[in-house]
Structure 1
Amino acid sequence: MDTSLDRSFGPWASTGRITSTVNARYQHILDKATPLVGLRWCLWVLVFFLYGVRVWYLRGFYIVTYGLGIFNLNLVIGFLSPQLDPETEGPALPTKGDQEFKPFVRRLPEFKFWLASIKAFCTAFCLTFFSVFDVPVFWPILLVYWLVLFMVTMKRQIRHMIKYRYLPFSFGKQTYGAAGAKGKGAADK
């Protein structure tokens, strides 16, 4: 079937079709992986472990690892932060009894956090195959600097959470007492 697109772009038209097919399959895999939270994070641990073993085996690429750590720290901050910052947008959670309850909405959803982190680890893993990225540095200084940066950033984030009274984690559906679950007749007995 020869279309006008094929005639005007020649061999590039088939490249566009291949790209759209690959993108559709990639999106299909992501859609299937969305509800599999535990499996996704097991994959993350595996990729993290493989990257760590590669860097340990090569005894290098500490600058790449440091950049990866900074990127993942930025992702964690986005994951722990509310979508509407109370400092700039006003309080999103009710502060008085007559205000409407608004649930915590993350600035960076869990799935996007996982996906960006996996992509970053895969990119960093690929960078370890090019010696130009193996800049000689004294790695303990980078590690100490990253740890200090992590502690300062987390301290600021925790203070923000305490000041505006939000908790970025919820563990399952809220349950009520046994009397509420059995109905009114059971509570009267």
Structure 2
Amino acid sequence: MPSLPQKASEEFRPFMRRLPEFKFWYATMKATLIAIFCTFFDFFDVPVFWPILVIYFFVLLFLTMKRQIMHMIRYRYIPFTTGKPKPQGRQDNGPVVHG
């Protein structure tokens, strides 16, 4: 676990990446090029019943978002404005001045 620097010569690194950006873009481009290459062959043209794809999408969405949603619940993050306390500023009851 990273800690705060103890000396002035130490560098503070608050965010450690699990996957460097270059490796992410390299893997993304490689997967895209392989997918485009596979479209040129009839062997990969497999008919699929569309409701199976919809179910597959929701299963992947659930499995992917489960960790994120649990993280949001753990740290009490509320993404919507319903139920959030609204900041109260001072009331402006002064006269309207037109210039």
Question: If the length of structure 2 is used for normalisation, what is the TM-score?
Answer: 0.53
Alignment correspondent of 1:133? 44
Segments of 5+ residues of structure 2 without an aligned counterpart are 5-11, 76-99
Q: Which among 33, 49, 54 is matched to residue 122 of structure 1?
A: 33
Q: How much is the aligned-residue C-alpha RMSD, in angstroms?
A: 2.7
In 2, Cα distance between the equivalents of 1:153 and 1:108? 17
1:105 equivalenced with 2:16 (yes/no): yes
Query: 1:79-90 maps to which residues of 2 (within 5 A)?
Result: none
Which protein is richer in helix relative to its size? 1
Residues 130 and 118 from structure 1, CA distance in 2 versus in 1: closer, same or farther, beyond 3 angstroms?
Answer: same
Take 2:72 and 2:26, find their aligned partners in 1: how far apart are those partners?
25
Q: Give distance in 1, aligned partners of 2:73 and 2:22.
A: 25
Cα pair distance change 1:124/1:142, threshold 3 Å: same
Which AA in structure 2 matches 1:108? Answer: L
For structure 1, list consecutive stretches of 5 or more residues without a partner in the other structure.
Answer: 1-91, 94-98, 165-189
The one-character-per-residue Cα deviations of 1:71-98 (angstroms, maximum 9, x if unpaired) are: xxxxxxxxxxxxxxxxxxxxx25xxxxx
Identity across matched positions, percent: 62
- Aligned residue pair count: 68
Aligned AA for 2:29? I
